[in-house]
Chains A and B, each alone.
Chain A
Amino acid sequence: MGFYTTNNMMKEKTQQYIPKDAEVKFCDNTAIFEISTSEIKKVASDLRGNKNLSLKLITATDERAENGCFKIWYVFGVPQENIFIVPFIQLKNTTEFPSLSLNIFEALNYERKIQTFFGLTPIGCRDSRPIILHENWPTDVFPLRKDFSCQTRPKTASGSYRFQKVKGEGIYEIPVGPIHAGIIEPGHFRFSVAGERIVLLEPRLGFTHKGSEKLLEVLSLNDKVKLSEKISGDSSFSHSLVFCQALEKLSDINVPERTRYLRVIYAEMERLANHFGDIGAIMMDTGFNFGGAQGARLREIVMQINERITGSRFLRGVNVISGVTKDIDNREKSKLSLELENLSKDFSEVIAVAVNSTSLLNRLKGTGTLSAKIAKKHGVVGVAGKAVGMSNDARFDYPYAAYDKLLLGEVATEQDGDVYARFRVRIKETHASINIIQDALNKLPEGGINIPNIDVIFKKNAFVISVVEGWRGEIVYFITTDAAGNISRVAPRDPSFINWAVLRYAGFDNVIPDFPLINKSFNLSYTGNDL
């Protein structure tokens, strides 16, 4: 499916998902229609529950100036078809909207976020505590409303946060973080334990909130692309890719064919570096120093290749609207191909040693098991989802760049949902990534890599969804433009935002000393969640 699906085809394909009386507007591969506030619960539950669509995002926009209302958007994706179904509701003269969190579990945090940042109240929500913003932020200032300027410095408030409590004999609480002993991102974890067993785990994040969503509305276009690279630093390329692809769709720019392949290569290099790092770090956290050292070494090799080709270890400054800035010439092509072959051999040797270590396997197997049932109920994405057999992968389901022309094999899945399953998924994806890059290098077409001096003009009152499979999982961007064709709202969703919500289930009933290992096997982004 390209970007130019005709309206008729779209109508046919989306028919079964849209209520008959709804007035539908088609934007590329997106079907948008309004639903009344009283109906949304039914429609959304039907799409998610009966039609088996995945909920990509729920977010709000403040359109009080233009339309005198707030809108809340529910973005659903149809896998394989590369189509998005987007019902929305309008809130006129009210700040209340019905909560879906009892039927769709992953809706909870989206709704809490809308409540915290837009001041709209989800009615019937089972958790009304603010999310991301902390007690020092006044509860009556809503930063994503249009009448809030990003220059505002609100007065420091002093509220309190209620952690969930477990009562009973011998239960005690362990507060961990936000500052940890290692060099990792800040996040607070509250454990209630009985002896060494975890009874309740509650993560509290938001320590790295930077106001990125607001900044993405006000910065200049180039700075927006740069900021998207910093939404989560280890996914710089994926985040800027999804953002650039969205903007290209919004301005009807057709990127050169060569660029599509180069984007695949860079995206997979990023996946490679991070999976090597994670595989090493998982082994390191069990104390298996050999594996830890090798993982770090392999990651470093990839990072240095990245630096050689693009000048940036994290592939920053590579994506621009209309293409990429760094090419791979023929000499580099054969060199990279050879290096990947060696990496593949090298990696296989390391893994062979690792899976022969009884003490390592004993730590990984059966630890931090996430049940498939809970994962499905919460719409878990990425590595954690694949580790329970959910074969959701944006590269297959919503093919972008050149993924539809490359040999992808099949989605790397495992069944057990424990640390070892997540470890195995990463190993499989690593091998697959190397093959994809080799294939892309072979098929790399001639041509330009971007469109120089292009004038980017966005469609007016338009709307776009873009999805990319980052190495953690599916990254979704939701972008709208106003009547003047300016970007009026950008809602990035890092996979971490979804998966943080299920970490507590993976941690439940494990022993405390295993938690760092479980956390590492998810390796979620704090900054991607906090924005």
Chain B
Amino acid sequence: MTIFIWTIQFIFAPVISPLCIGIIKKIKAKLQNRQGASIFQPYKDLWKLLHKDEIISHDASWIFRSAPFIIFAVTIVVGASIPIFTSFFKSTLTGDMLIIVYALAISTFFLALAGMDTGSAFGGFGSSREMTLSALAEGGLIFSLLTVALVSGTSNLFAISSSTMFGQGQHVLSVLLAFSGFLIVLLAETARFPYDNPDTHLELTMIHEAMILEYSGKRLALMEWASANKLFIFFALGANLFFPFGLAQNAYAGEIVMGITIFMAKIFIFCMVIAFIESSMAKFRFFRLPDLLLISFIFNIVALGLIY
């Protein structure tokens, strides 16, 4: 039974993540009076890209060639190491908060390197912008997770998600503040509004898209899939660390099914929030973005202060 649940846990992120993208796009389309593509379109896109030929610049080094595999692998490992629908895998090696954050940093690092590797101007400024933002976002991310870690007294993510401390009055405000900080970082890390516009065709405004502009075919599929996974990972962290209810506490089939259902509902709410943000506001000017990340940091410091 455990093997079976492990398998689900392992494939859950890569299998469900394109669906999140599809749902967000569908809601956005509806909000713009459009019909929109099917929510399964991202799967078809990945399938299409995986069957296409690739063009790789002559100037590309091993970094450009291997970055998609490294980044994709990282998101798979991280996706398997965080609480999704169960909270009883406490013994895993990689389930620690710091390991998750810095494993994701490795993928950002390689993404930025890959962007610069071919020497294209777009990749260069994409990487430069990405590093500016992720350096500022890191503080917010660490401190928001630190808040929930301190509340539950452990840095193991599964342990945090099975914690019962959240229901108690004194920490509610802390957790909510930390969640606000986390949400701001989530948008930055996953290249959504108001930081980046995932749907734009304007090369000069891109951040994430600029870095993967030189990719095509299978490697592009991996890059796209990896960024969907990353979005999923942040959704899962947000859903299970800050609102840890409904996770399966043991390996009974009923519990598992219930866990998955509740988790999907939480994810859907996240998709709705993102779609609403992206339909109702304009992207911020680049130089205003650090202010926003600073706000996230302040939220988290206040949240930490409130714990004691």
Q: Decide if B33 touches A297 in the complex (CB within 8 Å).
A: yes
Tell whether A407 is near chain B: CB-to-CB under 8 Å: no
Interface size of B in residues (CB-CB distance below 8 Å): 30
Tell whether B91 is near chain A: CB-to-CB under 8 Å: no
A173–B283 alpha-carbon span in the complex (Å) = 25
Tell whether B31 is near chain A: CB-to-CB under 8 Å: yes
Q: Decide if A357 touches B282 in the complex (CB within 8 Å).
A: yes
Given A288-B281, A512-B125, the answer on whether A182 and B194 have CB atoms closer than 8 Å is: no
A442–B200 alpha-carbon span in the complex (Å) = 44
- For A354, the closest partner residue in chain B by CB is B282
Q: Decide if B279 touches A196 in the complex (CB within 8 Å).
A: no
Residues of A within 8 A of B283 (CB): 286-287, 359, 363
In chain A, positions 119-145 with a C-beta closer than 8 Å to chain B are none
Q: Tell me the minimal C-beta distance from A280 to chain B in angstroms.
A: 11
Q: Decide if B201 touches A512 in the complex (CB within 8 Å).
A: no
Q: Tell me the minimal C-beta distance from A320 to chain B in angstroms.
A: 38
Q: Decide if B287 touches A196 in the complex (CB within 8 Å).
A: yes
Tell whether A159 is near chain B: CB-to-CB under 8 Å: no
Q: Could you say which of B201, B203, B279 contacts A176, with CB atoms under 8 Å apart?
A: B203
Which of B204, B278, B279, B286 counts the most A-chain CB atoms under 10 A from its CB?
B204
Residues of A within 8 A of B94 (CB): none
Residues of B within 8 A of A360 (CB): 281-282
- For B209, the closest partner residue in chain A by CB is A181
Q: Could you say which of B125, B279, B282 contacts A363, with CB atoms under 8 Å apart?
A: B282
A401–B272 alpha-carbon span in the complex (Å) = 53
Tell whether A174 is near chain B: CB-to-CB under 8 Å: yes
Q: Decide if A290 touches B197 in the complex (CB within 8 Å).
A: no
A360–B193 alpha-carbon span in the complex (Å) = 13
In chain A, positions 356-375 with a C-beta closer than 8 Å to chain B are 357, 359-360, 362-363
Given A173-B121, A290-B31, the answer on whether A362 and B282 have CB atoms closer than 8 Å is: yes
Q: How many A-B residue pairs have CB under 8 A?
A: 83
A514–B205 alpha-carbon span in the complex (Å) = 7
Q: Decide if A290 touches B280 in the complex (CB within 8 Å).
A: yes
Residues of B within 8 A of A514 (CB): 285
Q: Decide if A287 touches B193 in the complex (CB within 8 Å).
A: yes
Interface string of A4-42 (1 = CB under 8 A from B): 000000000000000000000000000000000000000
A35–B285 alpha-carbon span in the complex (Å) = 53
Given A293-B33, A511-B285, the answer on whether A182 and B202 have CB atoms closer than 8 Å is: yes
Residues of A within 8 A of B28 (CB): 289
Residues of B within 8 A of A196 (CB): 125, 129, 286-287
A263–B202 alpha-carbon span in the complex (Å) = 36
Q: Decide if A293 touches B34 in the complex (CB within 8 Å).
A: yes
Tell whether B32 is near chain A: CB-to-CB under 8 Å: yes
In chain B, positions 17-37 with a C-beta closer than 8 Å to chain A are 28, 31-34
Residues of B within 8 A of A286 (CB): 282-283
Q: Tell me the minimal C-beta distance from B171 to chain A in angstroms.
A: 32
Interface string of B32-62 (1 = CB under 8 A from A): 1110000000000000000000000000000
Residues of A within 8 A of B129 (CB): 196
Q: Tell me the minimal C-beta distance from A290 to chain B in angstroms.
A: 6
Given A174-B125, A289-B279, A290-B32, the answer on whether A516 and B285 have CB atoms closer than 8 Å is: no
Q: Tell me the minimal C-beta distance from A347 to chain B in angstroms.
A: 15
Q: Which residue numbers of A lie inside 8 Å of B, CB to CB?
A: 172-176, 180-182, 196, 283, 285-290, 292-293, 297, 357, 359-360, 362-363, 511-516
Q: Give me the 3 closest cross-chain CB pairs, A-B, nearest first.
A: A287-B283, A293-B32, A182-B201
